[in-house]
Structure 1
Amino acid sequence: MPSLERAPRRPEPAGGQLSTPRLRIDTPVRAGLDPEELSLLVREVRDAVDRENPWAAGAVVVAGRGPVIAVEEAAGWAVRYASYDAEADRGVELPPEARVPMTAATPFDLASLTKLFTAVAAVQQLERGRLGIDARVATYLPDFRAAAEHGITVRQLLTHTSGLRPELPLYDCPSHTARFELLRAEAPVDAPGTYCYSDLNLLLLQYALERVTGRPLDVVIREGITGPLGMTATGFGPCPDAAATEDQRQPWAKADRGMLRGAVHDENAWALGGVAGHAGLFSTGRDLAVFCRTLLAGGSYGTARILGPDFVELMLAPPGLGFAVDQPWFMGALAGRGAAGHTGFTGTSLVLDRATDTFLVLLANTVHPRRRAPDNRVRVAAADRLARAVRGG
């Protein structure tokens, strides 16, 4: 878990470079945030979890401004259900003594928040000159025939404008060889330049990163991002202590795997061994706060620098490279002046707002005990509260 300080520290020289302040726990007032609005933010997340038909079995919310964590709260259950009863259309609850309460340190299956780490790893390679933002993917993956034929670029992968469809049924392939062959042969369904959010973009980016670095993605992310930042609770699974996700069964899911806890929820990431560019990471609210703070500080945290400020700007400027920018449907009132972030299918989300130097991490296991249509109202309400907290109500 990354270190937190209880008292302010001034940046000080270390190893020949200035250090940026690390996160510390302090009061909303010290963070320049309205305490009443943050109290309402926490209450509304708790109410969403504690009601009769909960938004999620449990949730963790972390919010702050500058180097201060002003909110770090957990509600509900990391594990509440033994299974899902399809006939009754409800979860089969565990007896109270067998349930696992949610804590602020509970890891979550991040789902598509993994894409943000893959994007940062790619921008690191842009900074080092190993990738070109407008280079053709075929430069790095000449054996990916369809991508080469259609001239798909690195920028198009990062902005979801490659024209590739949202996903492929890799989980149905009989072998890793068959999965890779399916990806190599996959052609765009729309003209490159057309926006279509696709997991395939980040999978191709993963393979490009692995080719240019000579290392698997989990090592690239650990050595380039989570290790330097001290994010010791972040990594690819298995993660036995994580919040439970879904009783994964057909017909509502794509595979029959039973109740999942600590194994990646995404079926394609699972089929690929748990390490994938689009899904597979597990993390905690506090670790993700460090990630947000690093980007808000221009790519540095403490004495670690994972990106230069110019490349952070390149990544977070509209339309965003890997990051969604100014999307009110989950950022609420934080959207509008360059806020960046993402959501994950399992119920995860984060937003960082450079205009106000604020961050909001909201992690929930909304797919426990089974998946359902996304409901972003709690995310929007929390973002609205944080935006009002900055303004003083």
Structure 2
Amino acid sequence: MPSLEHAREHACGVGGRRELSAPRLRADTPERAGLDPVKLGRLAAAAYDLTAGARPWAAGAVVLAGRGPVIAVAEASGWAVRYASYDPETDTGVELPAAARVPATVDTPFDLASLTKLFTSVAAVQQIERGTLGMDARIGDWLPEFRAAAAHGVTVRQLLTHTSGLRPGLPLYDCPDDRAALALLRAEAPVSAPGAYRYSDLNMLLLQHVLERITGRTLDVLVHEGITRPLGMTATAFGPCPGAAATEDQRRPWAKAHRGMLRGVVHDENAWALGGVAGHAGLFSTARDLAVFCRALLAGGSYGPARILGPDFVDLLFTPPGLGFVLDRPAFMGELAGRGAAGHTGFTGTSLVLDAATDTFLVLLANTVHPRRRPPDDRPRATLGTLLSRAVI
């Protein structure tokens, strides 16, 4: 079995089946992408607004957008590392000296947070395509030791669509070790009848265990060998990722664990408790790599000579209500929503949207939790989506 270190060595600074070659991404003018240059200029300007002012939406941000195989906007603003700590008495960040700050660049890796769920979902659909996993298979058939979920007949489809009835999360971070965390997860039963939508990190954690059981490989290896390596996403991997943008000065009571200022290690406390590789969080990546991921899905599962999914199974990902992906959510997609756009957000400030109707994609990476988490605010994300939608010719 390939090791975790083997998977990591290709990312953070350190083959898919073949079909007809799909065009690779290239940087080019808005006109070549079929985008209005004036309107797209407003999107580029809005990227800088994300990090402006005394209390910016994010310390640092990278915005990358395009249409077809063309990247027409790639802008970075603010700081990958700006603060040494957070001062709760003044409710402000303690800024580093200017010489010690690290500017954000278009190549800065960020903690993807819940965008990790999209990779877990693609890994699951790959197994569905290969016939090793059924959409309506009961997880108890694979994981009988997950007694509570098995007793309720939870299925793979319910995990992928967040309709299992499992609650949003568990305090795995309070367990003394990963064995205790696993025992807590195995004993967790749905809190409502399966069928109704209830967004839950636990769905992707159970799905991770299903995938690892049926393949005999860990999730990090599945993502590397099935998605990032064939697509050439060399900057995408589970952490640690020392060059990543900083996230939070994580301390109680506002956080769930006392870990200090985080950089290059996963922000999510449960993913941290599980060793950094989790179905719901843990991946680090760059905007360029995520653009490749978007492009491959928009092209029916292929990028260059690599193929990670067949077109029918890409369509399955985006068939309502969506498998892992969120569909047509104006709250963070803006006017890109409404035609079948798919995407997701991450708690650290990340998001991606791909719109098959216009063949456009939008990637936003930011560290909104640096130096401390705040209530989510999707309005800047929605603004970017609207500006890209209006730029489409």
| 1:115 alignment counterpart | 117
Aligned residue for 1:54? Answer: 56
Are the equivalent residues in 1 in contact too, given 2:18–2:307 (CA < 8 A)? Answer: no
Contact map agreement 2:50 2:61 (CA 8 A) in 1: no
Preserved CA contact (<8 Å) 1:108 1:365: yes
Code of the aligned partner of 2:75: E
1:1-393 equivalences under 5 Å are 17-390=19-392, 392=393
Q: What is aligned with 1:9?
A: none
CA RMSD of aligned residues (A): 1.2
In 2, Cα distance between the equivalents of 1:16 and 1:299? 11
Amino acid at match of 1:145: R
State the AA in 1 paired with 2:149: A
Mapped partners of 1:258, 1:16: distance in 2:
45
Distance in 1 between residues matched to 2:113 and 2:219, nearest whole Å: 15
What is the rounded CA distance, in whole Å, between the counterparts of 1:18 and 1:274 in structure 2? 36
Distance 1:204 1:239 in 2: 25
Q: CA deviation at 1:347?
A: 0.1
Q: Give a deviation string over 1:22-43, Cα, whole Å, max 9, x none.
A: 0011000000001111111111
Runs of 5+ consecutive residues of structure 2 not aligned to the other structure:
1-9, 12-16
For the Cα contact (< 8 Å) 1:45–1:378, is it kept in 2? no
Q: Structure 2: how far apart are the matches of 1:16 and 1:374?
A: 41
Secondary structure at 2:51's aligned position in 1? helix
Deviations 1:34-74 (A, max 9, x none): 11111111111202212221000010000000000001110
Determine the C-alpha separation between the residues in 2 that align with 1:32 and 1:206. Answer: 39
For residues 367 and 202 of structure 1, the distance between their equivalents in structure 2, rounded to whole angstroms, comes to 23
Query: Contact between 2:18 and 2:305, CA under 8 Å: does it hold in 1?
Result: no
Q: TM-score with structure 1 length normalisation?
A: 0.95
Task: Indicate if the aligned counterparts of 2:219 and 2:278 stay in contact, CA closer than 8 A.
Answer: yes
- Structure 1 residue 312 displacement after superposition: 0.3
In the TM superposition, residue 17 of structure 1 has moved relative to its aligned partner by 3.8
Q: Percent identity?
A: 75
The answer to whether the Cα contact below 8 Å between 2:19 and 2:307 also exists between their aligned partners in 1 is: no
Verify the 8 A CA contact 2:81 2:102 in the aligned structure 1: yes
Could you give the per-residue CA deviations for residues 299-322 of structure 1, whole angstroms, max 9, x where no partner exists? 000000000000000111111000
Count residues with an aligned counterpart.
Answer: 379
**1:16: how far off?**
7.6
Tell me how far apart the structure 2 counterparts of residues 230 and 274 of structure 1 sit (CA, whole Å).
22
**Which residue does 2:5 correspond to in 1?**
none
- 1 CA distance for matches of 2:275 and 2:94? 29
TM-score normalised to the size of structure 2?
0.95
Q: CA deviation at 1:268?
A: 0.3
Which 5+ residue runs of structure 1 have no aligned equivalent? 3-14
